[in-house]
Amino acid sequence: MYLVFDLETEVHTSHKRKANPFDQRNWVVARGWKKQGDVRCSYTYHPEHDRTTYLQIDDDVTLLVGFNIKFDLLWEMCQGNPTLHAFFKRGGKIWDCQYAEYLIRAQVPSAQMCSLNDTAPKYGGTTKIDAVKALWEQGVHTADIHEDLLIDYLVGTEEEDRNGGDIRNTELVFLGQIKKALEQGQIKMIQDRMDGLASTTDMEFRGIKVDVAEAKRRMAILLKDLYEVSAELDTYLPADLPFDFNWGSGTHKSCIIFGGTIKYQKQARYFDEKTGTWARKQETEVHYVQEDGSTHPTKPGVKYAGGKRKGEYKTKQVKVPGEYKTRYTDFFYEFKGYTKPNEDWATKLVDGREAPIYGTGSDIIEIISSRNIPFLKALGKKQALDKEIGTYYVKYDEKKKEHVGMLTCVQPHDHILHHSLNHTTTVTTRLSSNNPNMQNIPRGDKSEVKRMFISRFGDEGCTGEADYSQLEVVVQGVLSGDRQLCEDLRNRIDFHCKRVSASRGCTYEEAVEWCKNEDNPKYPEWKPIRTKAKNFSFQRAYGAGAPAIADSTGMSLDEVQALIVAEEALYPGVTTFNDGVEKTVLETAEPFQAQDDNGVWKTYRRGYWVSPTGTRYSWRSYDAPAFMRKRGTPDSFSPPEMKNYPVQGTGGEFVQAIIGLLWRHFVQRDFYNNSAFLVNTVHDCIWIDCKKEVRDEVFADVQRIMESIPKYFNNRYGMQIDVPFPVEVETGNNMNELHHWKQAA
């Protein structure tokens, strides 16, 4: 028995969240629903502020259906809907039509974050009433929209017997999607991911506790550092610099480092083409009239001979040149530069004399760091501080006239930060995060930002993080089934050390000893060798070619190629798998029209590959490289993309299914009597906030469930996964000071 529902709410934005359900100003103005078999939709209307209404979910309901259902679920959770927890606890499931559409259509860009308005017509539904949308766009409050109009919009008009609007459209989409998903063998996969969606909805609802006092302390230190380093940097500027130098401008940085001309504007006199002189304003002055009829500004001339003004000097208004006119004029200032750039560092931007601006990113700064440029260190420090403060703390943006940065998302009354975890925004089915992005918080070895993420339970609580080890390598083993790779995974081989042994001709055991034992005399020399191997393997996993790897690791091309050959010989199944994906993509490719870099419409192709669980991946072709075009192939698929999507996407799928299982478990345990919550996920890890008293129990459960991927997927999808998915759990008082946690014997 399914129940379709949708809410129309007040839409105040706060902490970057639109129609924020955590904002006390907002409430549900109208609620519509339709139970399976109903001939009409039902609705309630609440024109007055009221945060206590909720959707009645009867005991016979087994599936909640919505469009972008996370929004509506968060509202029901904020209202404290007593029937929702019971629904989930008895195994109730959700179906988000926006998410299903994205998965059914292989995550193509047009299926990301799609709207009900665009989706409904594909399934026999109607488009929305424009009038309501128009009113919202004008800033009209939902409660001020006429009841009849709003209800028509939500559940259809009386003429439609109230079997229309958003609710009927959502139902039609849902029914069509079930059919489509069955045809494409995607039902189980979608259902697993829907549980993952329920899980991240709960994460958003719980939010992350922020130690605001700690954040303020830390920010004061950063601001002081920034002030000092900025002052130091400015000492490297010429004293007579005629314009404001901006160390944050790539153009300015390129010019001062590599040489170049800054064009700046200031007010200046200019020539008048007609007169051939400096352009001036016109003013009028009273001059004396002379005998000859001319005028003079100071020398009195003739007098009136009669009349009212008899005896007074004759005067006359005359036009005289006034102040010089000015206008904004281009000026140029040339920097000689400290060093020569590499030509391939050129960007698309140009300087004041149309010469290229060169990149000044950290990779390039790293390369030129040995060239004795006096301010590079300070510059790097300032850039890092600007980034850290502006992105992860808070700063006033003069242009936007508002504060920016992560801390603007923290609720003042309870210091909880409700982030967003998005399921329909990537081509690979990975999740993304925004408002704020909680998936790119600097690691502990880079900054202390994570120190501000603490437990909501105060001294009685702790934080925790559970990580899959080398998830993408494990997934590579699962997908390819390569015998040696799986064998190595079962033996918990350190792959980086294995590569070191292959390239250096030592044994694996020696590589482990020399690269990882800090007490071994060879450690200082061998640890960097392992780091290089690590870079190599990441780049290979992402499909990088030999030249790119050689470039970034500093290895010679021959050296890299030798490693690649050795790797392919060692794990031939990986190459076979990649070739299979490519073959399928080419076989399934269908033409479509798209604009090229110059805006010209051309025919490209889109091809597909389906994973063992039914997840569909798609790739589009691009303009082929020159050597292929010469041979008559106008477009081609990107080998790195084809290698990467299945691995990245399947890793993401495993984690999403698992956070669904974890959430189901937490629900069954009533969140350990409301003492433990899942609060975040970052691709291969999850964050936990719990009381210390339940910590060991929670972490043991989490680790067991996370490591159950082989059992779960083999059982549910008939897969034959025979490699472990090892999980490491860490815990501490904040997310920066974590230490290894181990289950008591």
Verify binding: residue 440, DNA, rule CB under 7 A: yes
DSSP-derived pairing of the beta strands 271-272 and 402-404: unpaired
Stretch that binds DNA, among 157-165, 342-350, 451-459, 710-718 (CB under 7 A): 342-350
Residues 614-633 that bind DNA (CB under 7 A): 622, 624-625, 627-628
Pick out residues in 207-246 that bind DNA (CB under 7 A): 246
Q: Does 251 bind DNA (CB under 7 A)?
A: yes
**Token representation of residue 710:** 């082989």
Closest residue by Cα to residue 99 from 64, 61, 69, 72? 69
Which residue number, 133 or 387, has a Cβ lying nearer to DNA? 387
Judged by CB under 7 A, the residue of 249, 411, 531, 708 near DNA is: 249
441 near DNA, judged by CB under 7 A: yes
Interface pick for DNA out of 230, 290, 437, 575 (rule CB under 7 A) = 437
Told to check if 644 binds DNA by CB under 7 A, we report: yes
Question: Minimum distance from CB of 641 to DNA (Å)?
Answer: 5
Should residue 554 be labelled a site residue for DNA when binding is judged by CB under 7 A?
no
**Identified binder of DNA from the candidate list 66, 301, 341, 436, rule CB under 7 A:** 436
Among 383, 455, 470, 734, binds DNA (CB under 7 A): 383
667-675 LR contacts (CB < 8 Å, sep 24+): 667/85, 667/88, 667/89, 668/89, 670/89, 672/697, 672/698, 675/457
Question: Which of these segments, 56-64, 431-439, 502-510, 715-723, binds DNA (CB under 7 A)?
Answer: 431-439
Instruction: Tell me, by CB under 7 A, how many residues bind DNA.
Output: 76
Rank residues 435 and 520 by Cβ distance to DNA and give the closer one: 435
Burial of 366 (0-12, 13-18, 19+ CB in 10 A): exposed
Residue 470 binds DNA, judged by CB under 7 A: no
- Residue (3 or 657) nearer to DNA, CB: 657
Structure tokens at 74: 């968060």
Least distance in Å: CB of 417 to DNA? 12
Site for DNA in 684-703 (CB under 7 A): 684-685
The CB-of-510 to DNA minimum distance in angstroms stands at: 28
Q: Does 588 bind DNA (CB under 7 A)?
A: no
Q: Tell me whether residue 129 or residue 685 sits nearer to DNA (CB atom).
A: 685
Q: Is position 704 an interface residue for DNA (rule: CB under 7 A)?
A: no
Shortest Å distance, C-beta 176 to DNA? 25
Buried b (16+ CB within 10 A) or exposed e, 71-98: bbbbbbbbbebebbbebbeeebbbbbbb
Counting contacts by CB under 7 A, is residue 601 touching DNA? no
Of the candidates 735, 49, 738, the residue with the CA atom closest to the CA atom of residue 438: 735
Residue 26 has φ and ψ, to the nearest 5°, of -90, 150
Q: Provide φ and ψ at 683, rounded to 5°.
A: 70, -55
Q: Which of 362, 369, 603, 720 binds DNA (CB under 7 A)?
A: 362
Is 650 near DNA (CB under 7 A)?
A: no
The verdict on 543 binding DNA (CB under 7 A) reads yes
Q: Judged by CB, which is closer to DNA: 44, or 422? A: 422
Encoded amino acid at 596, one letter: D
Report residue 616 CA to chain centroid gap.
Answer: 22
Dihedral of the CA atoms 53, 56, 62, 64 (nearest 10)?
A: -40
Look at strands 42-45 and 28-35 and give their pairing: antiparallel
Near DNA by CB under 7 A: residue from 29, 103, 172, 544? 544
**Interface residue with DNA, options 384, 466, 657, 658 (CB under 7 A):** 384
Would you tell me how many other CB atoms lie within 10 Å of the CB of residue 508? 17
Taking the C-alpha atoms of residue 231 and residue 225, their distance in angstroms, rounded to an integer, is 10
The reply to whether 337 sits near DNA by the rule CB under 7 A is: no
C-beta closer to DNA: residue 510 or 730: 730
Is residue 683 near DNA by the rule CB under 7 A?
yes
Q: Which stretch binds DNA (CB under 7 A): 171-179, 505-513, 572-580, 641-649?
A: 641-649
**CA-CA distance, 703 to 713, in Å (whole number)?**
17
For residue 238, give the 3-state DSSP assignment: coil
Binding span for DNA by CB under 7 A among 167-175, 643-651, 698-706, 718-726 = 643-651
Q: Residue 103: which of 184, 4, 215, 5 has the closest Cα?
A: 184
CA atoms within 13 A on the CB side of 407: 21
Token readout for 221 is 């230190």
- Print the binding letters for residues 446-465 with DNA: x by CB under 7 A, - otherwise: x-------------------
When the beta carbons of 175 and 594 are compared against DNA, the nearer one is 594
Interface with DNA (CB under 7 A), residue from 411, 439, 575, 708: 439
Is residue 580 a contact residue for DNA (CB under 7 A)? Answer: no
CB 339 within 8 A of CB 360: no
Token pair 């980034």: residue? 387
The reply to whether 425 sits near DNA by the rule CB under 7 A is: yes
Residue 466 structure tokens: 């559970």
Cβ neighbors of 674 (< 8 A, separation 6 or more) are none
**Interface pick for DNA out of 151, 427, 550, 563 (rule CB under 7 A):** 427
Report 95-134 residues binding DNA (CB under 7 A): none
Q: Does 261 bind DNA (CB under 7 A)?
A: no
The answer to whether residues 170 and 65 touch, using CB atoms and an 8 Å cutoff, is yes
Q: Does 428 bind DNA (CB under 7 A)?
A: yes
Q: How many CB atoms lie within 10 A of CB 302?
A: 13
Closer to DNA by CB, 47 or 444: give it.
444
Report the distance separating Cα 396 and Cα 403, nearest Å: 4
Smaller CB separation from DNA, 13 or 668: 13
The residue (of 59 and 397) whose beta carbon lies closer to DNA is 397
Pair 694, 675: CB distance under 8 Å: yes
Question: Mask of contacts with DNA, 471-490, x by CB under 7 A?
Answer: x-------------------
Looking at 86, 134, 140, 349, which residue binds DNA (CB under 7 A)?
Answer: 349
Shortest Å distance, C-beta 683 to DNA: 3
Would you call 517 helix, strand, or coil by DSSP? coil
Q: Closer to DNA at the Cβ: 545 or 572? A: 545
> Candidates 39-47, 362-370, 564-572, 689-697 — which segment interacts with DNA by CB under 7 A?
362-370
Residue among 190 and 735 whose Cβ is closer to DNA: 735
Q: How far is CA 253 from CA 241, 361, 369, in A?
A: 14, 10, 14
Between 145 and 421, CB nearer to DNA? 421
Residue of 367, 639, 711, 743 interacting with DNA (CB under 7 A): 639
One symbol per residue from 386 to 415: x for binding DNA (CB under 7 A), - otherwise; what is it?
xx--xx---x-x-x----xxx---------
Q: Which residues contact 129 (CB under 8 A, 6 or more apart)?
A: 149, 152, 153, 165
**Could you give the C-alpha distances from 455 to 342, 436, 643, in angstroms and in order?**
49, 19, 40
Question: Counting contacts by CB under 7 A, is residue 648 touching DNA?
Answer: yes
Distances (CA, A) of 297 to 35, 289, 323: 94, 9, 17
For DNA, which stretch binds (CB under 7 A), given 92-100, 125-133, 637-645, 689-697?
637-645
Contact status, residue 604 vs residue 592, Cβ threshold 8 Å: yes
Which residue shows structure tokens 């989409």?
173
Query: CB within 8 A of 653, min separation 6: which ones?
Result: 189, 192, 193, 429, 611, 613, 615
By the rule CB under 7 A, 350 interacts with DNA:
yes
Residue 142 or 428 having the CB closest to DNA: 428
Nearer to DNA, 406 or 698 (CB): 406
